[in-house]
Amino acid sequence: MSEAIEQFFASLPARAPAVLRSPIGGTLQIDLTDGNRTEHWYVTLAPGSARVSRQEERPPDAILTAATQLFEGLVTGREAGMATVLRNEATFGGQVVLFLALRRFLPNPPGVRDPRDAAREHVRRST
């Protein structure tokens, strides 16, 4: 398991209050594959909180499966979450809102700006 992935999962609980403001809840199982080996991570999301575990506490509401190397690209911003699913490089099943919530924790690829930030900057320059 790469250090970037370990750090990503370790950071989720501290970042959740700022990221998860909407009423969301459920457990997302993330399966990371590397050859014949699969590692399971369980992320339980609730408004303002995220809990990460390596042990299944209850059946997941959704499952994301990706190669370990691809997931490292997601957590470092080299890959875009939705694009990997649309290209069928990663698979997702279950409550899609959990995948969309997880995407909020992922960094943007280098050089990409949030359109809301660009609009705010434009307004500041105009006034």
- State pLDDT tens for residues 66-123: 999 999 999 998 888 788 888 989 999 999 999 999 999 998 777 777 788 888 888 9
pTM for this entry: 0.82
Kindly report, residue by residue over 51-60, the tens digit of the pLDDT.
999 998 889 9
State the SS3 of 30-44: EEEEECCEEEEEEEE
Task: State the pairing for strand pair 91-94/62-67.
Answer: antiparallel
Task: Kindly state the helix (H) or strand (E) to which residue 99 belongs, with its residue range.
Answer: helix 96-103
CATH number at residue 33: 3.30.1050.10
Q: Are 61 and 93 spatial neighbours (Cβ–Cβ below 8 Å)?
A: no
How many domains, the chain? 1
Domain extent at residue 42: 3-126
